[in-house]
């Protein structure tokens, strides 16, 4: 598999030559202010193929995933774990990103411990160097060019877009570029980014982001109040996901509604799940005010997820008030997502007490069962990567069909 990034329109390119500086392996592995500052990079082996189930996002490989923010990948190699696989990112001489498996073919030292030299990755143990395609181009201990064997390690397509480094894990070449964040960098719109490491799997994160009833209890007073109101939700299939549109929803008595939602305006609220691991929540008030919260979830392992949440909004038609609104909107959003980080950490700890989850869903669980349904359908339909076993039903998420409503259904609920 070639690691040359596809020449997608609009994909940003960074500048700056390669460097011989070595990676700091004690640095925060996520490079984000929201990540645990005490975390240390580890070089653990990827989980075995037996862990890859039809209801596991680790089996969803034919998609782009965010591996890092563009500004994190500079002159040093950058280690990451995505879909349970340790990889290393670096920049070629022209500044474009490349991704390889994070181990030297010689004695399996992590290549992230080495350095970038003339657009190649040099191992810190014996100096073997690899190009962006994973080909070993130099073995210093060998004298002649003819004596060097044809040695390769796995490479992954990588590209740069929307200020992120994206990596693709599929066996076939990608069909197109990564899905862009909606309205990001459009005139009149303001955006800010939240980066968080969740001690929970991608399914738990996605269901949380698309679950309204929990906001009454986890975000009481901030996002919704306990004065529950009855409303309807229309459920629809999408070409690449599933959607819930809420009808007759009124502004809740909360900090968010008082500061951000206009009084007397009709609210159009939609929650969307988009394959493979993206949630999108829209709050629209006519043509003037619109909030979009898009969370791109990158599975690290079965029980750990990096979440990149882009909050994009238009507060007035010309966007003049956006910078001022951000001054109080962003701190509120960070506080709310920290509450989700905490509740999902607690949920994961409590599930481990019993060994595995045994979930029961109801009609009020609008999108969670649909996520599992779409994952299972995708993993049965798509040929698996050679490194992944044939998918099988079962696994740890035991959400049953009783909570799955067909497309076109209207559900009445309270929150």
The confidence score (pLDDT) of residue 411 equals 81
Q: Are residues 102 and 223 in the same domain?
A: no
* pLDDT range class, residue 224, cuts 50, 70, 90: low
State in Å, rounded, how far the first CA of the chain is from the last one. Answer: 49
The CATH number of the domain holding residue 34 is 2.102.10.10
Domain match, 157 and 269 both: no
SS3 353: helix
Q: What is the pLDDT of residues 282-335, one digit of tens each?
A: 988 877 788 999 999 999 999 999 999 999 998 887 778 888 888 888 998 999
How far is Cα 351 from Cα 241, in angstroms, rounded to an integer?
27
The reply to whether 129 and 218 lie within a common domain is: no
Residue 54 located in a structural domain: yes
- In terms of domains, do 152 and 282 share one? no
pLDDT confidence band for 271 (50 / 70 / 90): very high
Check the CA dihedral 208-210-211-212 and report its sign. positive
pLDDT at 277 over 50: yes
My answer on whether 154 and 195 are in the same domain is no
Q: Can you give the pLDDT at residue 47?
A: 40
281 and 313 co-located in one domain? yes
Give the domain range for residue 157: 1-180
Q: Which has more confidence, 398 or 372?
A: 372
Examine the domain organization and report whether 295 and 208 are in the same domain. yes
The percent of residues above 90 in pLDDT, for the chain, comes to: 58
Same-domain check for residues 176 and 210: no
Do residues 179 and 162 lie in contact, with contact meaning Cβ atoms separated by under 8 Å?
Answer: no
Same domain, 293 and 146: no
pLDDT given for residue 399 in this prediction: 42
Specify the number of domains making up the chain: 2
**In the prediction, which pLDDT does 388 show?**
37
Q: What is the CATH number of the domain that holds 287?
A: 3.90.380.10
Segments in 157-229 forming alpha helices (H) = 202-209, 215-218
Q: What is the mean predicted confidence (pLDDT) over 255-264?
A: 67
As a whole number, the mean pLDDT across the chain is 81
Question: Do 211 and 247 reside in the same domain of the chain?
Answer: yes
Q: Residue 159 and residue 111: Cα distance in Å, rounded?
A: 20
Residue 409 pLDDT exceeds 90: no
Is residue 185 in a domain? no
Domain assignment present for 288: yes
Last residue of a domain, one of 154, 180, 206: 180
pLDDT interval class at 267 (50, 70, 90):
confident
Residues 146 and 251 in one domain: no
Q: Kindly report, residue by residue over 79-123, the tens digit of the pLDDT.
A: 999 999 999 999 999 999 999 999 999 999 999 999 999 999 999
Q: Which residues contact 349 (CB under 8 A, 6 or more apart)?
A: none
pTM of the model: 0.81
Task: Give the residue among 224, 281, 214 at the shortest CA–CA distance from 256.
Answer: 224
Tokens of 233: 């939700």
Q: Is the pLDDT score of 15 beyond 50?
A: no
Say what the pLDDT of residue 320 is.
81
Please provide residue 306's backbone torsions phi and psi, each rounded to the nearest 5 degrees.
Answer: -95, 130
Looking at 180, 199, 219, which one is the last position of a domain?
180
In a domain, 350, yes or no: yes
Residue 353 neighbours by CB distance under 10 Å = 6
When pLDDT is averaged across residues 175-185 and rounded to a whole number, the result is 95
Q: Are the C-beta atoms of residues 366 and 210 closer than 8 Å to each other? A: yes
244 and 380 both lie in a single domain = yes
pLDDT tens digits along 31-78: 333 443 333 332 233 344 434 567 889 999 999 999 999 999 999 999
User: What's the confidence (pLDDT) of residue 262?
Assistant: 66
Domain boundary among 127, 147, 180: 180
The span from the CA of 159 to the CA of 167, in Å, is 7
213, 209, 206, 204: which is closest to 350 by C-alpha? 204
Q: How far is CA 83 from CA 74, 140, 163, 314, in A?
A: 23, 33, 21, 34
| pLDDT > 70 in the chain, percent | 75
């Amino acid at each position: 598999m070639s690691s040359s990034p596809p020449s997608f329109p609009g994909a940003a390119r960074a500048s700056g030559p390669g460097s011989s500086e070595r990676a700091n392996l004690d640095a925060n592995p996520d490079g984000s202010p929201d990540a645990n500052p005490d975390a240390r990079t580890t070089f653990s082996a990827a989980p075995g193929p037996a862990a890859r189930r039809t209801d596991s996002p680790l089996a969803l490989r034919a998609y782009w995933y965010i591996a890092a923010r563009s500004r994190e990948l500079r002159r040093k190699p950058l280690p990451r774990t995505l879909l349970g696989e340790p990889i290393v990112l670096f920049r070629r001489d022209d500044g474009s990103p490349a991704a390889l498996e994070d181990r030297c073919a010689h004695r399996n030292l992590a290549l992230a411990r080495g350095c970038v030299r003339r657009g190649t990755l040099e191992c810190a143990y014996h100096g073997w160097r690899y190009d962006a395609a994973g080909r070993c181009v130099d073995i210093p201990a060998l004298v002649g060019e003819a004596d060097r064997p044809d040695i390769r390690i796995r490479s992954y397509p990588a590209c740069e877009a929307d200020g992120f480094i994206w990596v693709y894990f599929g066996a076939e070449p990608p069909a197109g570029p990564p899905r862009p964040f909606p309205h990001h960098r459009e005139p009149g719109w303001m955006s800010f980014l939240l980066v968080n490491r969740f001690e929970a799997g991608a399914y738990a994160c996605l269901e949380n982001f698309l679950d309204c009833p929990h906001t009454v209890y986890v975000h009481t007073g901030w996002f919704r109040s306990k004065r529950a109101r009855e409303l309807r939700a229309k459920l629809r299939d999408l070409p690449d996901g599933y959607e819930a549109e809420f009808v007759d929803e009124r502004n809740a008595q909360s900090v968010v509604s008082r500061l951000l939602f206009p009084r007397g305006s009709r609210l159009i609220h939609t929650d969307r799940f988009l394959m493979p691991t993206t949630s999108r929540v829209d709050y629209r008030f006519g043509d003037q005010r619109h909030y979009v919260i898009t969370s791109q979830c990158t599975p690290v392992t079965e029980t750990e997820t990096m979440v990149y949440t882009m909050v994009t909004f238009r507060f007035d038609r010309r966007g003049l008030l956006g910078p001022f609104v951000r001054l109080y909107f962003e701190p509120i959003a960070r506080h709310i997502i920290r509450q989700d980080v905490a509740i999902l950490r607690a949920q994961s700890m409590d599930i481990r007490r019993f060994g595995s989850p045994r979930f029961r869903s109801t009609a009020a669980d609008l999108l969670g069962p649909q996520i599992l349904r779409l994952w299972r359908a995708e993993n049965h339909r798509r040929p698996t990567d050679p490194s992944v076993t044939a998918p099988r039903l079962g696994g740890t998420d035991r959400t049953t069909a009783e909570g799955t409503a067909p497309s076109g259904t209207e559900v009445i609920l309270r929150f």
